[in-house]
């Protein structure tokens, strides 16, 4: 047994010295020593066992170890040692050797280690995936709440805009409050519930107007290329993101509505009518107590609150306006049109409004409401849970069917309101006239050719031919290069007139002179030789800036800051025919025009905000245009421009107080008055047929009005501001479809 | 705060404003100008305040892009040069000044044409101003965004154009000075334009010194009498 113990010692040594990896090596050495052992039994380590059996056992054990011997490795007997080995039957029971077993254990251990590390890797991977999904979910959630907020903001903005336009168009409050009755089919449970329970006339209406708002939003989106399909796909996507389906939506809404039937919910609903945050807070409390369905209800309520807030704000805004003058049937369609035409300006205007100091009060109100609205939204979105957002989104799509009908109606309405014309032209900026160094004060078209002249504060006039263009880079609009520059004024040029033949043009300047020009050919080379005959005369007589100039046949009439209005017949021996001076109380004249449907009459606007019509022959005042009550206290009603209707005895005035007013020349009374722009109206032009009126304002936009029903047909933002001025002049081409605007930014634009 | 100011001061020239009241409003600090044409407004405001204080007018506000600053000033020069052109038109005819000259050293060719031409002085003047107006208003070289705010800059290739505009435009001064001295003096007394221009091109290194042939008061006070041609 000495060998045995030696072997044991050897074995005992082995695991210590050899690592698990050496296991195979051990088996090999066993085999190796086996063959050596038959040769004469060396004293080498394991194989020092001697006897054949032991050798075989060692071999088998080694084999078992190498093969991962499954069966009997656990039995102590076989572990018993090589001493017992020779007694066992070799064929049936494999011989286990200590080194084999140890080797096996080592191997197993390493396998387990390997697997464990594999699991660790897997776990880490899964954890990462979980984190990622969580992040994704969070992202989607915030996206969703953001979208919700956007929807609300858009709705709010639309509402405000609609109200604004309504006000501008009719000069009265928007009448939606009374005009629309909800059709019972369309209304969800909410509307009716609230209406019956809390005696609130607004709620159902606001539901309708809300839908209307949504409709408008849809149109808006359609305009920018969002078809209904896309919208639907999107909302479906959003819903699938939320992991809910349509049915759930309906249930959510219905449930919310049903929840509203409970006393608590209604109580809070009633409170929401007063536009303050308290209402919402009580709402929150109610929703907390009401469990799962209430959040949907709450959105609804908050929406109502927002709508009511908005309406309250609108009401407050319009309180200063007079009583209702008219309300058209096609109001909806008009509103839609205006939204359609104006959408790109909305932001600009909203951003700009705070600048106009006059409206501070209303502005503050608006700002306040806006802020409050934001608060409300935050309140909502902060606690957004699945069902809440859902209620919102469901609202967006549930009413699809009714929308279709609505669309059709709207379209019919539009067709009708277009004055039976069937189609309507939309004006687009086509030509940009850039060459002036400073504001363009005035512009006038040639009566026949696509040619116009601009007059600028840079002391020059320029002649432009719209047929000689340069393609501007990267845009659809064309740049026009000026053909000729008229230089004679020594100060800013303020006004322009053109003879009916289009051969002669007149300009009045800050220097007090009226210059007469023979128009060069519209095909002249811009860098031709100087022809002194283009400047064909100066009418001297005014002692201060000439601000207004207009022509009729061969005569021109001008008004000046020297307080006089002068009638001229240029190119005659005594060009100055007559001077008209008003009473001191009227102040200086600001604008002048010939009365177009009456020979020998001129109409002059004075600083007093009155217009006086003179007979040019007698020099006597014919009539004074003044409205007894409206014009009392004329501060701020300053007239920037007066024009005469080409065919009717009507005078139109543009005022500093943002109004355009229409006067009857025969009775001298005010016929119509409307808020036309967001800032002072500076310029007016009537087309040759007397159907359309064009107005320009310091709010940077020009507006086209249908003179028949005094509605705004189109608004175009055309120029930028310099100091507090923006648009100085607008004009119609007499025979071609061109309109033009001139701005303080030194540009003139022509629209086709 | 700011809104309150805006409600009291509206910087507008309403129709009927007397010429002495034109643009007569309190100065607006550059920081408060939210218009897109702030730099032009600022420059014009400084000129209005005191046209003779050339140094102050040319002092660039902090945080101002130099390219835009030079560009806006050059626009203003070309604009005011219209005033000189108007005066020259009355006296400088193709028959009296057949060529664009200052001293007898050079005849300037008009660059407005495809091949530079020997235009009469008045044509040269008009063509140069018209060409400058087109170039400086060109949407290609000076897209309108350059004046949008103080930070936007003008691309380098366009800035180099300013130098050649300066050179050409300066010849109008020199022609007026050497051939229509009375007109030049009257105009200069009113506007200090040549004075300002000389300072401008020197300060921003837009023209070389030897090309600045019109003496301005500071350097040669009352000396230039002898050079009248």
Vertex A27: Cα angle to A22 and A28 (nearest 5): 95
Q: A487 contacts in B (CB within 8 Å)?
A: 82, 85-86, 89, 126
Please name the member of A432, A490, A561 whose beta carbon is closest to the beta carbon of B86. Answer: A490
DSSP category for residue A199 = -
Q: Please tell me the predicted confidence (pLDDT) of residue A217.
A: 74
Stretch 73-132 of chain B: residues touching chain A, C-beta under 8 Å: 75-76, 78-79, 82-83, 85-86, 89, 93-94, 110, 112-113, 119-120, 122-123, 126-127, 129-131
Average pLDDT of the segment spanning A591-607: 90
Between positions 3 and 32 of B, the ones with CB within 8 A of A are: 3-8, 10-19, 22, 25, 28
**What's the pLDDT band for A273 if we cut at 50, 70, 90?**
very low
Q: What percent of chain B has pLDDT over 70?
A: 86
Residue A357 has pLDDT above 90, yes or no: no
Assess whether pLDDT exceeds 50 at residue A258.
no
CA B17/CA A589 separation, integer angstroms = 10
Annotated ligand binding at B97? The verdict is yes
- Percent of chain A beyond pLDDT 70? 53
Whether residue A694 is predicted with pLDDT greater than 70 in this model: the reply is yes
- Contacting residues for B58 by C-beta, under 8 A, at least 6 apart: B73, B196, B199, B200, B203
Q: Span A249-277, mean pLDDT?
A: 38
| Res A147: pLDDT | 93
Closest residue of chain B to A463, computed from CA coordinates: B130
Tokens encoding A59: 């071999």
Query: Per-residue pLDDT averaged across A4-26, rounded?
Result: 40
Per-residue pLDDT tens for A435-494? 899 999 999 999 998 999 999 999 999 999 988 877 655 556 678 888 899 999 999 999
Q: What is the pTM of this model?
A: 0.58
- pLDDT tens-digit profile of B93-141? 888 888 888 887 888 888 888 888 888 899 999 999 999 998 888 877 8
Test mutation, B1, B5, B14, B15, chain A, max A CBs within 10 A: B15
Which site among B16, B26, B94, B112 would you substitute to test the A interface, given the most A Cβ atoms closer than 10 Å to its Cβ?
A: B16
Selection from A69-83, A462-476, B11-25 with the highest mean pLDDT: B11-25
Given this model, what pLDDT does residue A741 score? 94
Residue range A479-521, pLDDT digits in tens? 888 889 999 999 999 999 999 888 999 999 999 999 999 998 8
A485, A491, A512 ranked by CB distance to B126: nearest: A485
pLDDT class of A227 with cuts at 50, 70, 90: low
Put simply, the answer to whether B139 touches A432 (Cβ < 8 Å) is: yes
Q: Find out whether B195 and B188 touch, Cβ atoms under 8 Å.
A: yes
Which residue in chain B is spatially nearest to A590 when comparing CA positions? B16
Assign B10 a pLDDT band (cuts: 50, 70, 90): confident
A483 phi/psi in degrees, rounded to 5: -90, -35
Interface test with B, best of A484, A520, A527 (most B CBs within 10 A): A527
B15 to chain A: which residues are within 8 Å by CB? 494, 547-548, 590-591, 640-641
- Would the CB atoms of A487 and B82 count as touching at under 8 Å? yes
Q: Kindly report which listed range (A123-132, A668-677, B1-10, B140-149) carries the lowest average pLDDT score.
A: B1-10
Across A47-54, average pLDDT: 40
**DSSP-based three-state secondary structure for A625:** strand
Question: What local confidence, expressed as pLDDT, does residue A460 receive?
Answer: 93
Distance in Å, alpha carbon of A304 to nearest chain B alpha carbon: 32
* Mean pLDDT in residue range A421-425: 56
Q: Tokens at residue B161, please?
A: 């154009």
Mean pLDDT over A68-95 rounds to: 45
For chain A, give every domain's residue range: 2-96, 163-410, 429-751
Measured CA to CA, the distance from residue A579 to residue A302 in angstroms comes to: 66
pLDDT of residue A239: 60
* Secondary structure (3-state) at A485: strand
Say yes or no for a CB contact (<8 Å) between A589 and B3: no
The reported pLDDT for the residue numbered A55 is: 41
Nearest to B36 among A360, A545, A720 (CB): A720
Tell me how far CA of residue A697 lies from CA of A205, A277, A656, in angstroms: 35, 38, 9
Which residues from A are below 8 Å from B121, CB to CB?
Answer: none
Chain B nearest C-alpha distance from A542 (Å): 12
Contact B19 A491 (CB under 8 A): yes
Q: Contact, A614 vs A622, CB < 8 A?
A: yes
Q: Of the candidates B4, B17, B139, which has its C-beta nearest A545's C-beta?
A: B17
> Does residue A301 surpass a pLDDT of 70?
no
Cα distance between residue A588 and residue A567, in whole Å: 16
- C-alpha distance from B40 to closest chain A C-alpha (Å): 9
* Chain B residue whose CA is closest to A439: B37
Which burial class, exposed, middle or buried, applies to A678 when counting CB atoms under 10 A from its CB (0-12, 13-18, 19+)?
A: buried
Strand order in the sheet with A546-552: A546-552, A555-560, A564-568, A576-581
- Chain B interface mutation, best of A432, A545, A682, highest count of B Cβ atoms under 10 Å: A545
Instruction: Compute the nearest-CA separation of B143 from chain A (Å).
Output: 10
Question: What is the phi/psi pair of residue A685, to 5°?
Answer: -150, 140
Higher per-residue pLDDT: A728 or A634: A728
Asked if pLDDT for residue A345 goes beyond 70, the answer is no
Highest mean pLDDT among A351-355, A394-398, B26-30: B26-30
Categorize the per-residue pLDDT at A560 as very low, low, confident or very high, splitting at 50, 70 and 90. Answer: very high
Check: CB of residue A437 under 8 Å from CB of residue B79: yes
- The residues near A640 (Cβ < 8 Å, ≥ 6 apart) are A590, A591, A654, A655, A656, A680, A681, A682, A683, B14, B15
Q: Which CATH number fits domain B38-227: 3.40.50.1860, 3.60.15.10, 1.20.140.30, 1.10.3720.10?
A: 1.20.140.30
Any bridge partners for residue A487, and if so which?
A: A460
Report the pLDDT value the prediction gives residue A150, as an integer from 0 to 100: 93
Cβ <8 Å between A459 and B86: yes
Question: Would the pLDDT of A642 be above 90?
Answer: yes
* Mean pLDDT, all residues of chain A: 68
- Only one residue has tokens 């001697």, namely A50
Q: Compare all CA atoms of chain A with the CA of B90 and give the residue at the minimum distance.
A: A532
What are all long-range contacts of A47-52, with beta carbons under 8 Å and residues at least 24 apart?
A48/A3, A48/A6, A48/A7, A48/A10, A49/A3, A49/A4, A49/A7, A49/A82, A50/A3, A51/A86
A561 with B18: Cβ contact below 8 A? yes
Nearest to B86 among A488, A640, A720 (CB): A488
Longest dimension (CA), chain A: 155
Can you tell me the ipTM of this complex?
0.88
Q: Which residues of chain B are within 8 Å of residue A607 when distances are taken between CB atoms?
A: 16
More confidently predicted of A73 and A498 = A498
* Minimal CA separation from A735 to chain B, in Å: 28
Q: Which residue has the tokens 């009729």?
A: A552
Which of chain A's residues have a Cβ under 8 Å away from the Cβ of B36? Answer: 720-721, 745
Q: What is the mean pLDDT of residues A698-714?
A: 91
User: What does the alpha-carbon distance between residue A442 and residue A322 come to, in Å, rounded to a whole number?
Assistant: 34
User: What mean pLDDT comes out for the span B59-69?
Assistant: 84
Using the predicted structure, report yes or no on whether residue A186 has a pLDDT greater than 80.
no
Chain B segment 144-173 residues within 8 A of A by beta carbon are: 144
| Of residues A194 and B144, more confidently modeled | B144
From the list B4, B14, B37, the residue facing A722 with the nearest CB is B37
What percent of chain A is modeled with pLDDT above 90? 29
Query: How many residue pairs from chains A and B have C-beta atoms closer than 8 A?
Result: 154
Is residue A146 scored above 70 in pLDDT?
Answer: yes
Domain A429-751: which CATH class? mainly beta
User: By three-state DSSP, how is residue A329 classified?
Assistant: coil
**Furthest-apart CA atoms within chain B: distance in Å:** 62
Do the Cβ atoms of B122 and B88 come closer than 8 Å?
A: yes
């Amino acid at each position: 047994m000495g060998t045995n113990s030696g072997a044991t010692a050897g074995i005992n040594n082995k695991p210590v010295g050899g690592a698990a990896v050496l296991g195979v090596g051990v088996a090999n050495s066993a085999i190796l020593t086996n063959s050596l052992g038959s040769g004469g039994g060396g004293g080498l380590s394991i194989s020092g066992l001697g006897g054949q059996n032991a050798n075989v056992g060692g071999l088998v054990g080694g084999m078992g170890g190498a093969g991962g011997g499954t069966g009997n490795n656990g039995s102590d007997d076989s572990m018993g040692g090589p001493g017992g080995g020779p007694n066992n039957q070799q064929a049936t029971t494999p011989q286990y050797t200590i080194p084999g077993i140890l080797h096996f254990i080592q191997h197993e251990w390493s396998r387990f280690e390997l697997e464990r590390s594999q699991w660790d890797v897997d776990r880490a991977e899964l954890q990462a995936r979980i984190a990622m999904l969580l992040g994704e979910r969070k992202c989607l959630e915030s996206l969703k709440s953001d979208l919700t907020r956007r929807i609300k903001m858009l709705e709010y903005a639309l509402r405000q805009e609609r109200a604004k336009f309504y006000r501008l168009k009719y000069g009265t409050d928007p009448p939606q409050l009374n005009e629309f009755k909800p059709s019972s089919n369309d209304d969800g449970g909410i509307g009716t519930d609230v209406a019956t329970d809390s005696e609130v006339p607004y709620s159902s209406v606001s539901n309708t107007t809300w839908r209307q708002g949504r409709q408008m939003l849809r149109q808006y989106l359609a305009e920018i290329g969002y078809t209904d399909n896309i919208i639907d796909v999107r909302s479906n996507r959003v819903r699938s993101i939320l992991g809910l389906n349509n049915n759930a939506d309906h249930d959510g809404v219905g449930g919310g509505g049903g929840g509203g039937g409970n006393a608590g919910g209604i109580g809070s609903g009633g409170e929401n009518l007063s536009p303050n945050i308290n209402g919402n807070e009580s709402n929150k409390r109610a929703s907390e107590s009401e469990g799962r369905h209430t959040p949907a209800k709450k959105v609804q309520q908050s929406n109502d609150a927002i709508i009511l807030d908005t309406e309250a704000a609108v009401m407050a805004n319009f309180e200063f306006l007079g009583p209702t003058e008219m309300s058209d049937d096609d109001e909806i369609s008009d509103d839609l049109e205006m939204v359609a035409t104006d959408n790109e300006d909305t932001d600009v205007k909203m951003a700009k409004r705070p600048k106009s100091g006059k409206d501070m009060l209303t502005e503050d109100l608006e700002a306040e409401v806006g802020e409050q609205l934001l608060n409300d939204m935050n309140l909502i979105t902060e606690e957004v849970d699945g069902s809440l957002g859902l209620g919102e989104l469901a609202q967006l799509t549930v009413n699809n069917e009714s929308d279709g009908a609505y669309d059709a109606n709207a379209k019919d309405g539009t067709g009708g309101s277009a004055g039976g014309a069937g189609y309507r032209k939309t004006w687009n900026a086509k030509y940009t006239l850039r060459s002036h160094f400073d504001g363009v004060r005035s512009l006038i078209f040639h009566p026949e050719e696509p040619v116009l002249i601009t007059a600028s504060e840079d002391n020059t006039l320029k002649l432009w031919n719209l047929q000689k263009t340069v393609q501007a880079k990267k845009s659809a609009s064309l740049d026009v290069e000026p053909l000729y520059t008229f230089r004679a004024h020594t100060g800013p040029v303020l006004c322009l007139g053109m003879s009916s033949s289009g051969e002669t043009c007149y300009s009045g300047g800050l220097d007090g002179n009226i210059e007469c020009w023979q128009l060069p050919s519209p095909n002249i080379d811009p860098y031709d030789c100087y022809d002194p005959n283009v400047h064909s005369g100066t009418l001297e007589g005014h002692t201060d800036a000439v601000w207004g100039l207009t022509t009729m046949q061969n005569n021109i009439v001008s008004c000046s800051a020297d307080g006089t209005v002068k009638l001229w017949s240029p190119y005659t021996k005594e060009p100055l025919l007559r001077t008209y001076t008003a009473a001191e109380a009227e102040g200086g004249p600001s604008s002048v025009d010939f009365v177009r449907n009456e020979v020998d009459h001129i109409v002059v606007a004075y600083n007093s905000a009155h217009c006086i019509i003179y007979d040019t022959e007698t020099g006597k005042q014919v009539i004074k245009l003044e409205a007894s009550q409206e014009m009392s206290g004329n501060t701020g009603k300053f007239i920037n421009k007066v024009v005469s209707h080409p065919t009717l005895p009507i005078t139109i005035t543009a005022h500093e107080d943002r109004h355009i007013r229409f006067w009857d020349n025969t009775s001298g009374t005010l016929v119509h008055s409307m808020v036309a722009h967001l800032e002072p109206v500076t310029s007016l032009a009537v087309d040759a047929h007397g159907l359309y009126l064009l107005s320009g304002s310091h709010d940077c936009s020009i507006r086209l009005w249908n003179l028949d029903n005094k509605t705004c047909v189109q608004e175009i933002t055309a120029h930028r501001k310099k100091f507090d001025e923006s648009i100085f002049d607008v004009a119609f081409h007499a025979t071609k479809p061109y309109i033009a605007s001139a701005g303080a930014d030194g540009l003139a634009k022509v629209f086709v | 705060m700011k809104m309150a100011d805006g409600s009291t001061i509206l910087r507008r020239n309403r129709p009927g404003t007397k010429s002495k009241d034109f643009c007569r409003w309190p100065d607006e600090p550059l920081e408060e100008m939210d218009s897109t044409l702030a730099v032009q407004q600022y420059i014009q405001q400084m000129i209005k305040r005191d046209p003779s204080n050339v140094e102050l007018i040319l002092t660039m506000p902090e945080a101002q892009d130099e390219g835009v600053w030079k560009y806006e000033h050059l626009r203003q020069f070309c604009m005011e040069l219209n005033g000189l052109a108007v005066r020259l038109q009355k006296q400088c005819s193709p028959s009296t000044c057949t060529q664009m000259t200052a001293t007898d050293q050079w005849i300037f060719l008009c660059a407005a044409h495809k091949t530079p031409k020997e235009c009469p002085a008045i044509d040269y003047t008009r063509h140069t101003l018209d060409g400058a107006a087109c170039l400086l208003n060109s949407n290609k070289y000076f897209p309108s965004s350059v004046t949008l705010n103080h930070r936007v800059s003008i691309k380098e290739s366009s800035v180099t154009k300013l130098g050649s505009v300066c050179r050409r435009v300066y010849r109008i001064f020199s022609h007026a000075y050497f051939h229509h001295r009375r007109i030049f003096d009257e105009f200069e007394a009113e506007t200090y334009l040549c004075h300002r221009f000389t300072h401008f091109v020197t300060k921003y290194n837009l023209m070389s010194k030897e090309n600045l042939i019109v003496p301005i008061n500071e350097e040669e006070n009352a000396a230039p009498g002898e050079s009248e041609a």
